[in-house]
Amino acid sequence: MNPSAATRRPPLIRCREVRKSFNGVEVLRGVCLDVARGEVVCIIGPSGSGKSTLLRCINGLARIDGGSIHVDGLDVHDPATDRLALRRKVGMVFQQYNLFPHKTVLKNIMMAPLHVLREPRAEVEARARALIAKVRLQGKEDAYPGELSGGQQQRVAIARSLAMRPEVMLFDEVTAALDPETVSEVLVTIRELAAEGMTCVLVTHEMGFAREVADHVYFTDAGLIVEHAPAADFFNRPHDPRTQAFLAKVL
Amino acid sequence: MLSARAFVLPAALLPGTAAAADGAAPAWLLLWQWTPAIASGFLMNVLISVAAMLLASLLGLAVGLGQLSGLAPWRRACHFLTHFFRNAPWLVVLFYCMLLLPFQLRLFGVALPFPDWAKAILGIAIGAAANVSEIVRGAVQSIPPGQWESAESLGFSRRQTVWLIVLPQCLRRMLPSWMNLYALVVVSTPLCNIVGVHEVMSVAGELLANQDRHDLLLPVYGYLLLWFFAYCYPIARLTRLLERRPAPSLP
């Protein structure tokens, strides 16, 4: 994406001074982050630095204790905000896939549009089948999640989120639980999404992938954004010693 | 005297011996002749057990889900009800129902009879419902939190999540304990005899009262035990089978 084009419009996601504690331990200590429409943002950093918590705050799965988060103008943590309107805008894919094990692949993808959006069945089914083709799982429509590999399940989870036609997709370490040989098939799917202009926020440990697909990279440590920069700058010329130490370890 | 009777009774089990010697009908012949009456009495036990279990399942589902409600007063009330009646002897609850409930109900000016058998069903169902409530709570809590999270992120309401996603996965987990409980309900139905409901124990009592033969006590009540065994043991076997089968992620 062209960063200068992105900055002209208000950001799709705007986090300001976000604070969040669990049992008195502050895991987010004033995080600011902007994601422009169509941008791909990667959040990297050591485990326990608050990356996943930040994602969960962005779609309202976790409450924040201070600051503000806006998604396309909606104040995520204002109790008056329409939950459903928010969920429609933000899709989320989890590390553990969290597919519904009692439903087939097709039903997993159709459920939310049918029951949450109450869209006509024929339309939803057509969309679900198209999404199954998009994540290259034709022929698996009637399989149950337990019959699929981790990579296949994760692609179903991506399709399930896309079925709600979100404006931004959050990926929470989606390849961390996968066998190495299935990681690439999931990354291919995400790469295609990004290429189509889907706004994506990824928490990831795949540095090579982050470098290749991200427009902008944020580095978190101990609940703070230590450094953020366009991907090329971030990986080639990290400024902060903590970023340098982390990159030296993982690259 | 006592020891003499104890010696005679086992002999009465053998066809054509003991009491038959003094001209009375042998025990096996009477059991054969009484079988239709005993069967119809047993049918009442089965009907009571089925009705009580249905009622207990509905009540227990409501109270069990109540134990997980986000509404604190309702949650506490359901928790209290569950534990109060789980620790209440069924016979005491049965007496309460018999003695405290009216013989007819007035609904919108119409008098509906409230016969003893209906009170007995309610009396048994209350104790069973408290157990169903715990079965439901345990099963719902055994569903991984990721299922709730992914449902929430897709926009499902709490109610939709319970009915469409969580409970369908629970059914299988609940089945063995539920069947176990049903077998307990069946063997508890003779309690209804004490509060005046005409079931298999009453039938046996009446048949014996007409004979005034102590040598029949063991064969007749032994025969009843066999009826209960024949009805409940297959349920227990099936339960064991379901428990041993590893729970797959397929329905």
Q: What is the pLDDT of chain B when averaged over all its residues?
A: 86
pLDDT for residue A8: 58
The answer to the question of residue B5 being in a domain is: no
* Average confidence (pLDDT) over A20-43: 92
Window B:150-179, CB contacts with A under 8 Å: 150, 152-156, 160, 164-165, 168-169
The verdict on a CB contact (< 8 Å) between A96 and B152 is no
Task: Grade residue B48 by pLDDT with cuts at 50, 70 and 90.
Answer: very high
Number of A/B CB contacts below 8 angstroms equals: 63
User: Residue B155 — left, alpha, or beta (φ > 0 → left; ψ -120 to 50 → alpha)?
Assistant: left
Is residue B251 a part of any domain in this protein?
no
- The CA-based angle B124-B129-B130, given to 5 degrees, is 110
Query: Which whole number is the average pLDDT over A59-82?
Result: 91
Q: Do A160 and B168 touch (CB under 8 A)?
A: no
Cα of B220 vs its chain's centroid, Å: 22
Report phi then psi at A33, rounded to 5: -160, 135
Count up the domains in chain B and report the number.
1
pLDDT digits (tens, 9 = 90+) for B112-144: 888 888 999 999 999 999 999 999 999 999 999
Residue A147 and residue B168: Cβ atoms within 8 Å?
Answer: no
Q: How confident is the model at residue B245 (pLDDT cuts 50, 70, 90)?
A: low
All residues of chain A having their beta carbon less than 8 Å from the beta carbon of residue B248 are: 146
**B155 in a domain, yes or no?**
yes
Residue B72, min C-alpha distance to chain A (Å): 19
Mean pLDDT of A223-248: 90
Does residue B143 belong to the interface with chain A, where contact is any CB pair within 8 Å?
A: no
Per the CB < 8 A criterion, the answer to whether A229 and A216 are in contact is yes
Task: Report the CATH number at residue B166.
Answer: 1.10.3720.10
- Tell me the pLDDT tens digit for each residue of A111-164: 999 999 999 999 999 999 999 999 999 999 999 999 999 999 999 999 999 999
Instruction: Look at residue B177 and tell me whether its pLDDT is greater than 50.
Output: yes
pLDDT of res. B22 = 59
- Distance, CA of B182 to CA of A116 (rounded, Å): 37
The percent of residues above 70 in pLDDT, for chain A, comes to 97
Is domain A3-98+174-250 classified as CATH 3.40.50.720?
A: no
Sequence-ordered list of residues with C-beta below 8 angstroms from that of B152, at least 6 positions apart, any chain: A61, A87, B161
Residue B94 domain flag: yes
- CA nearest neighbour of B55 among B3, B122, B1, B130: B122
Q: Which residue has the higher pLDDT, B27 or B163?
A: B163
A1 pLDDT exceeds 80? Answer: no
Which positions in chain A touch B144 (Cβ < 8 Å)?
96, 98
Domain assignment present for residue B4? The answer is no
User: Which residues in B lie closer than 8 A to residue A102 (C-beta atoms)?
Assistant: 168-169, 251
Of the listed ranges A103-107, A121-125, A193-197, B209-213, the one predicted with least confidence: B209-213
Q: From the CA of B178, how many Å to the nearest CA of chain A? A: 20
β-partners of residue A92 are A170
Question: Which of A98, A116, A161 lies closest to B149 in CB terms?
Answer: A98
Residue B249: inside a domain, yes or no? no
- Tell me what the mean pLDDT of segment B182-208 comes to: 92
CA distance B63 to chain A (A): 24
* Residue of B233, B121, B218 lying closest to B179 (CA atoms): B233
Asked if B110 and B133 count as a contact pair (C-beta separation under 8 A), the reply is no
Distance of residue A31 Cα from the nearest chain B Cα, in angstroms: 22
Domain containing residue B190: 35-241
The pLDDT of residue B6 is 42
Crossing angle of helices B217-244 and B200-209, rounded to 10°: 160
In the predicted structure, residue B5 carries a pLDDT above the cut 80: no
